């Protein structure tokens, strides 16, 4: 299998590494990136090669691994370099799937979302199969062989879930981090300790990635509204809100 990975960041490298080391047949990987040095570094690290972003080569499969706001444009630009399959690992589903249908109507089309940072692999991988076939079947088999749990979903279901597990969750954690004050460790409770750990976990990532999530998925406004409701609640209303939250 001859594969072009568009985007030489952590997720593009993870995809190439997972595919190359877990596919039964031979896999040749090329990296293209707006930063040629990044493509070269990825090629050196993952035993691939770097190609120009405007390469006129064609490949069995093209996988787009760029930030979410750039996904649709990248698919439009690079889909015609695929002879058999187009995939993405960008993190959203509806936009990339629509772009793949438009610009790669005769190819296999699959949107993949690893629900973890590459350094925490393996884990759960959400899979939207828009047009299956042997190439994307091999990709999914490689992900499973690496120990990932791949489960199928739809673009609407995926993006709706991301509003909670990413946008709302991150907003709540970061809001606590902004509102919290330093206190001696002796005062920490199991709940506060866990929240500070989550702030540290989120804080170890790339701010741009978290900003892209907030820009792509709704949810943060709901967290802010819920916090206002809690802050304004009298005892009886608070008890109702408490039960509503904990019953979920």
Model confidence pLDDT, tens digit, residues 190-234: 999 999 999 999 999 899 999 999 999 999 999 999 999 999 999
Coil, strand or helix: which one is 30?
Answer: strand
Confidence of residue 239 (pLDDT cuts 50, 70, 90): very high
Mean pLDDT of the chain: 97
What are the pLDDT digits (tens) for 168-184? Answer: 999 999 999 999 999 99
- The per-residue pLDDT for 217 is 97
- The per-residue pLDDT for 89 is 98
Structural contact between residues 82 and 61, judged by C-beta atoms closer than 8 angstroms: yes
Residues contacting residue 97 through CB under 8 Å, at least 6 positions apart: 109, 111, 128, 130, 155
Please, what's the b/e burial string for 166-194 (b: 16 or more CB within 10 A of its CB; e: otherwise)?
bbbbbbbbbeeeeeeeeeeeeeeeeeeee
- The per-residue pLDDT for 63 is 98
What are the pLDDT digits (tens) for 72-129? Answer: 999 999 999 999 999 999 999 999 999 999 999 999 999 999 999 999 999 999 999 9
Residues 51-72, mean pLDDT to the nearest whole number: 97
Structural contact between residues 96 and 66, judged by C-beta atoms closer than 8 angstroms: no
> What is residue 50's DSSP assignment?
E
- The per-residue pLDDT for 248 is 80
Which tokens go with 166?
């990413």
Residues 242-248, mean pLDDT to the nearest whole number: 94
Angle formed at CA 192 by CA 220 and CA 164, multiple of 5 degrees:
25
- The per-residue pLDDT for 162 is 98
């Amino acid at each position: 299998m001859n594969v072009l990975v568009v985007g030489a960041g952590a997720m593009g490298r993870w995809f190439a590494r997972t595919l190359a080391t877990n596919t039964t047949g031979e896999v040749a990987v090329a990296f293209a990136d707006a930063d040629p040095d990044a493509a070269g570094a990825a090629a050196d690290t993952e035993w691939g090669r770097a190609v120009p972003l405007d390469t006129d080569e064609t490949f069995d499969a093209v996988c787009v691994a760029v930030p979410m706001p750039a996904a649709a444009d990248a698919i439009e630009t690079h889909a015609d370099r695929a002879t058999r399959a187009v995939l993405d690992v960008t993190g959203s589903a509806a936009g990339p799937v629509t772009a793949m249908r438009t610009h790669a109507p005769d190819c296999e089309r699959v949107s993949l979302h690893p629900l973890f940072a590459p350094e925490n692999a393996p884990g759960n991988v959400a899979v939207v199969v828009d047009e299956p076939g042997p190439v994307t079947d091999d990709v999914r088999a490689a992900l499973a062989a690496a120990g990932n749990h791949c489960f199928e979903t739809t673009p609407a279901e995926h993006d709706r879930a991301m509003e909670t597990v990413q946008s709302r969750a991150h907003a709540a954690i970061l809001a606590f981090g902004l509102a919290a004050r330093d206190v001696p460790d002796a005062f920490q409770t199991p709940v506060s300790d866990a929240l500070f750990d989550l702030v540290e976990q989120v804080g170890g990532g790339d701010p741009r990635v978290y900003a892209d999530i907030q820009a792509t998925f709704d949810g943060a406004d709901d967290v802010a509204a819920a916090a206002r409701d809690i802050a304004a609640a009298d005892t009886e209303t608070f008890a109702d809100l408490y039960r509503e939250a904990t019953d979920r």
